[in-house]
Amino acid sequence: MKRLLILALLCGPLWAAPPEESAAYSQANSAFYEQKYALSRDLTEKLLKAEPDNYAALYLLGRIYHYGEGSIPRAYYCYSRARALVEKQFDKPQASESQVLYGNLLVDLGEAAQQLEHYQEAIQLIDLHDELYPADRHTARKGWPMLKMGRFDEARELMLKLVDDPAHSSYRGHALNNLGNIEFESDNMQKSYDYFAKIVAEVQGSYDVDPVYWCNAGEACRDLLRYDECEKLLLESTKHFNPYTYSDPWGFLAELYAAESRMPEALEALKHMQAWRISGSAQVSQNKWAECYAHAGSVLLQMGYDAEALTILERLVRRQDRNSSISTPATLVEARLVFLYVQALQRNLQRLREKLSYCSWKETPANLVKLLQMERQISRDRDKVANLVASNTGIDGFLQPFGARALDQPSLSPASWDCFGPGAIIASAQRSLASKKPEMEARRPYLMAILGEAYLHDWDAEQAQKYLEDALAQLPGAEVKLRNRCQAVLAKTLTQQGRKLEALHYVQALMDSDPSQLRACQLGLPIMIESDGGRAANQARNWLYNSPRCLRAKGAFVLKLRGDVAQVEGELVSPDGTLAGSFKGQPRSQSQDAARSFCEVFHAEAFAPIIDLSQSDIRSIDGSTGTTRPGALKDLLK
């Protein structure tokens, strides 16, 4: 009897039901599917505490980390342990009682590996799954990791083979989407768009379709410089929200609107973007946060909110995220981000130089130290951008308005000379202008804008003027921000040639429409400052003439100052006699402090963005409030 009991205890596990059929597992799994992730995790961890080698509980914990909390490294660890335990217990897991769980485990492990950018491992897991489960083949999913590894020809051949195969019909959209991305990364823009447009046509009217199809088609239209069609497709994408999508239509719309100087719409799009991201599933929300913040930093920079843009971009530079959900190479994503960071630093450096013209002697040493630190940081990051681009994706692609290797910021591309040097930019842009590719004809005015700014900094003002004037004559009307930058650089070019009256025409246009461009392009406002003779007004006049934003000139803008010891006021009059702005410093007890207050107000308001953001706007843009509550997207889209 004793021997029989021992034998029964030894053999008992062979007859026991698999762990995924236990009541405790079923309870935890049900909580997971009801999206009660905290409860599911609590139940699963209790199960694992009692049974550390319970592969089903480990797999479930991995899914909680993956889909409930967005912690991909932890999910990958749990999946890997669960896989090892299944394979240790069953010689042929696909033929065991746990075949369904094992098949799903391979799929989720492959997804986690891909999100961690372990692309070769993801391909191997798909191959293993297809070998063990030939009736449920996931072969089309190999296209994305192949693309990310740069195996374009192999990926294209595989997707073309599968796209019309009835056995893979459920993955037709996936295959077409991969083909569109392959052609995009191969710089075949029209082919890329054709594939995306094909998917859009096929899914039109379908229920519960991933919005990424419309978003990708819209992005392809943007890259072909077809902005109206781009906007329509992106807006259509916003109507198909899916919590598991990796699409980001609102971010692209925000940048499109900002480039067209449709700033109120850009602001609203940024708010929708954060709501869209936060309303998504945990792993998508985590995966997309860096891209969304890059959109926010870019748009704030174009709005003229340099300090706010710098805060966001600095956060991104210090904590870059994974790059598995977009086809763009990681080096280019980093180069774009650091380039934007350099531009934000440059503009804040200009603000600091303005402040040095009027700050007290006690503040001067600290501000000079800060200035030196910023200059060093700018120098380091310029070199970083140059190294990332020149050694990987190449300068020629970076200078295009949009595309697989482009900066994707046409209004900022002319500043590329700052990172690569004007000579390299001139040579690269001239090569592109000589290209016979069909896309180049539409890109010509964008390259002329780049050449104009590069020639200015290569000390050839005549060539700079020629290219800038040609760019302004040929650029699409929608490129408002780029046209404004060209006007600012042209004003500098004409001033350098002594043609101040012509330069003044462009400066006045900028002061009416986009005064922040003066700071962005390091342009001084031609101005004559008149004082009523008061001590504080006289002091303010002297300090303002020392500012890089004020260029002493006759027959230009006139700033009329008046004030007593306690407060300074002023009116800025345009060359045509119209009032361009009124400014009032804060009351102070001493004349020097009153003068400083006026200088601070003048610099803040005279060159301010046209749109005025509130603190609630800023918090909504960076996702810190207003969009973090459940149902945020639903509320915004009412």
- Which residue reads 């050449």 in tokens? 451
Whether 449 and 515 share a structural domain: yes
Contact 295, 302 (CB under 8 A): no
Query: Which of 509, 446, 510 is closest to 304 using CA atoms?
Result: 510
Per-residue confidence (pLDDT) for residue 637, from 0 to 100? 44
Lowest mean pLDDT among 264-278, 351-365, 611-625: 611-625
Per-residue confidence (pLDDT) for residue 610, from 0 to 100? 79
Per the domain annotation, does 77 fall within a domain?
A: yes
Q: Where are the alpha helices (DSSP H) in 475-630?
A: 480-496, 500-513, 516-520, 535-545, 591-606, 615-621
Q: Give the residue-averaged pLDDT of 370-374.
A: 97
Per-residue confidence (pLDDT) for residue 286, from 0 to 100? 81
Per-residue confidence (pLDDT) for residue 16, from 0 to 100? 56
Joined together, the tokens standing for residue 534 give 């008061």
Residue 477: pLDDT above 80?
A: yes
Of 468, 489, 520, the domain-final residue: 520
- Which residue reads 């850009």 in tokens? 266
Whether 423 and 407 share a structural domain: yes
The helix (H) or strand (E) run that includes residue 531 is strand 525-531
- Which residue reads 């492990």 in tokens? 109
Per the domain annotation, does 86 fall within a domain?
A: yes
Distance CA 120, CA 127 (A): 11
Whether 500 and 553 share a structural domain: no
Per the domain annotation, does 121 fall within a domain?
A: yes
Q: Please give the angle made by the CA atoms of 355, 358 and 364, to the nearest 5 degrees.
A: 70
Express each pLDDT in 436-476 by its tens digit. 888 889 999 999 999 999 999 999 999 999 999 999 999 99
Distance CA 322, CA 299 (A): 22
Q: Where are the alpha helices (DSSP H) in 209-318?
A: 212-223, 227-237, 249-259, 263-278, 282-303, 306-318
Q: Give the residue-averaged pLDDT of 221-236.
A: 96
Q: Please give the angle made by the CA atoms of 330, 331 and 337, to the nearest 5 degrees.
A: 90
Distance CA 120, CA 196 (A): 26
Contact 562, 572 (CB under 8 A): no
Give backbone dihedrals phi and psi of 580, rounded to 5 degrees, phi first: -95, -15
Per-residue confidence (pLDDT) for residue 209, from 0 to 100? 87
Q: Which amino acid is at 270?
A: L
Whether 516 and 532 share a structural domain: no
Reported confidence tier of residue 336, pLDDT bands at 50, 70, 90: very high
Reported confidence tier of residue 98, pLDDT bands at 50, 70, 90: low
Per-residue confidence (pLDDT) for residue 223, from 0 to 100? 94
DSSP state of 413: G
Distance CA 151, CA 142 (A): 11
Per the domain annotation, does 60 fall within a domain?
A: yes
Q: Which of 617-632 are b and which e, b meaning 16 or more Cβ less than 10 Å from the residue's Cβ?
A: bbbbbbbeebbeeeeb
Per the domain annotation, does 177 fall within a domain?
A: no
Q: What is the CATH number of the domain that holds 411?
A: 1.25.40
Express each pLDDT in 376-429 by its tens digit. 999 999 999 999 999 888 999 999 999 989 999 999 999 999 999 999 999 999
Per-residue confidence (pLDDT) for residue 92, from 0 to 100? 61
- Which residue reads 């994408």 in tokens? 237
Q: Give the residue-averaged pLDDT of 43-67.
A: 95
Q: Please count the structural domains in the chain.
A: 3
Lowest mean pLDDT among 89-98, 150-159, 316-325, 537-546: 89-98
> Above pLDDT 90, what percent of the chain?
76
Express each pLDDT in 196-213 by its tens digit. 999 999 988 777 789 999
- Which residue reads 């599968």 in tokens? 162
Express each pLDDT in 521-531 by its tens digit. 999 999 999 99
Query: Which of 339, 274, 341, 287 is closest to 314 using CA atoms?
Result: 341
Whether 437 and 543 share a structural domain: no
- Which residue reads 């009692």 in tokens? 50
Q: What is the CATH number of the domain that holds 55?
A: 1.25.40.10
DSSP state of 474: H
Q: Give the residue-averaged pLDDT of 123-144.
A: 92
Q: What is the CATH number of the domain that holds 554?
A: 3.30.160.150
Q: Give the residue-averaged pLDDT of 155-178.
A: 92
Per-residue confidence (pLDDT) for residue 475, from 0 to 100? 96
Name the CA radius of gyration of the chain, rounded. Answer: 30
Q: Give the residue-averaged pLDDT of 209-237.
A: 95
Residue 627: pLDDT above 50?
A: no
Per-residue confidence (pLDDT) for residue 13, from 0 to 100? 45
Of 121, 137, 153, the domain-final residue: 137
What predicted TM-score, i.e. pTM, was given to this entire model? 0.90
Per the domain annotation, does 226 fall within a domain?
A: no
Give backbone dihedrals phi and psi of 146, rounded to 5 degrees, phi first: -60, -45
Whether 499 and 548 share a structural domain: no
Q: Euclidean distance between the first and final Cα of the chain, in Å? A: 74
Query: Which of 469, 457, 527 is closest to 496 using CA atoms?
Result: 457
**Which structural domain, as residue segments, surrounds residue 464?**
394-520
Per the domain annotation, does 146 fall within a domain?
A: no
Query: Which of 505, 498, 550, 491 is closest to 526 using CA atoms?
Result: 550
Whether 509 and 544 share a structural domain: no
Distance CA 168, CA 161 (A): 10
Per-residue confidence (pLDDT) for residue 365, from 0 to 100? 97
Whether 475 and 538 share a structural domain: no
Whether 536 and 516 share a structural domain: no
Contact 590, 524 (CB under 8 A): no
Whether 514 and 532 share a structural domain: no
Whether 475 and 553 share a structural domain: no
Q: Which of 104-122 are b and which e, b meaning 16 or more Cβ less than 10 Å from the residue's Cβ?
A: ebbbbbbbbbbbbebbebb
Distances in whole angstroms, Cα of residue 311 to Cα of each of 297, 307, 381, 404, 613: 8, 6, 16, 28, 16
Mean pLDDT of the chain, nearest integer: 90
Whether 516 and 535 share a structural domain: no
Report the interhelical angle of 227-237 vs 249-259 (nearest 10°). Answer: 150
Strands 525-531 and 579-584 turn out to be unpaired
Express each pLDDT in 4-50 by its tens digit. 433 333 343 444 577 888 999 999 999 999 999 999 999 999 999 99
Helix, strand, coil % over all residues of the chain, rounded to 5: 70, 5, 25
Q: Give the residue-averaged pLDDT of 148-169.
A: 93
